[in-house]
Amino acid sequence: MSSLEVYINGSFYPKQEAKISVYDHGLLYGDGVFEGMRAYGGRIFRLQQHLDRLYESARAILLEIPMGSQDLADAVLETLRRNQLQDAYIRLVVTRGAGTLGLDPDRTSDPQIIIIADKISLYPDEYYQNGLEIVTASTIRNHPAALSPRIKSLNYLNNIMAKIEGKLAGCAEALMLNHKGEVAECTGDNIFIVRRGRLLTPPIDAGILEGITRNAVIELASSEGISVQELSFTRHDIFVAEECFLTGSAAEVIPVIKLDRRPIGNGQVGPITKQLIQAFHGLVRSEA
């Protein structure tokens, strides 16, 4: 395959030549929004839901995306086709645009729309077979009164600091609590546990991003006859849970077998987790 091409504002550039201004407020201040999506068989999983969330995030920070939803969808699909990718990860970024060395968003111009399509392998296959070990980060999730975690912004330093804690502990992921000490989410994924045969996941007001894959798994659980509740819980509930898994566009559905070196359940991938992994794979195949 030839060099990957990146979409920037209606034009395609070879990966090595894809550039934006160093004065762009996305770079200077993390002022912008993004989405991460997966393509299966040349079709993007729940593209419209991703675009709806992107426009909601942009509206929340008073960022006007200079393109309609349908045109943006067409641009995403064209980027996928242009790079001759069937199974891929797509990163869609909208920045505030170039401006001055100051915070004032009114002194920026030309928001940048950037679409990158590439292959991704977030976790090794062995983690999907045998499960992840995670740790609890001391870095808490952003306080919703300071910056809503529902905005998928370019400012991911909160998550990155927690990710660093996880890496230093030898773990690929880290659990983040909210300002009340309740479970929120992991650095890049939503979290689910199985307690007494019921599936539990933190609600939106726990300070989480409303994940597209999270919502798909909630739908799947209901269709599979598994009771599912959005309910606040603490680390105690994970320690005494039968099963645990994470969800995300890049991660899909991945088991967790230990938290803070303590086995969850019997320390192995549980039956409900396996059932939902299989159901999710079936869902993406059917939608593709």
Domains of the chain: 5-118 (3.30.470.10), 125-287 (3.20.10.10)
Return the closest-CA partner of residue 92 out of 68, 119, 73, 66.
73
d(CA 193, CA 231): 11
pLDDT tens column, 57-114: 999 999 999 999 999 999 999 999 999 999 999 999 999 999 999 999 999 999 999 9
pLDDT in tens, 213-248: 999 999 999 999 999 999 999 999 999 999 999 999
Residue 262 corresponds to which tokens in the numbers above? 């303590």
* Interval 138-174: pLDDT, tens: 999 999 999 999 999 999 999 999 999 999 999 999 9
Average pLDDT over all residues of the chain: 96
- pLDDT over 90 (residue 32): yes
pTM beyond 0.75: the answer is yes
pLDDT at 196: 94
Cα–Cα distance, 103 to 248 (Å, whole number):
32
d(CA 163, CA 175): 9
d(CA 169, CA 19): 35
For residue 221, count CB atoms less than 10 angstroms from its CB and return exposed for 0-12, middle for 13-18, buried for 19 or more: buried
Looking at residue 101, its pLDDT comes to 95
Q: Given a cut of 60, is residue 1 above it in pLDDT?
A: no
Q: For position 2, what pLDDT does the model report?
A: 62
- 120 confidence band (pLDDT: 50, 70, 90): confident
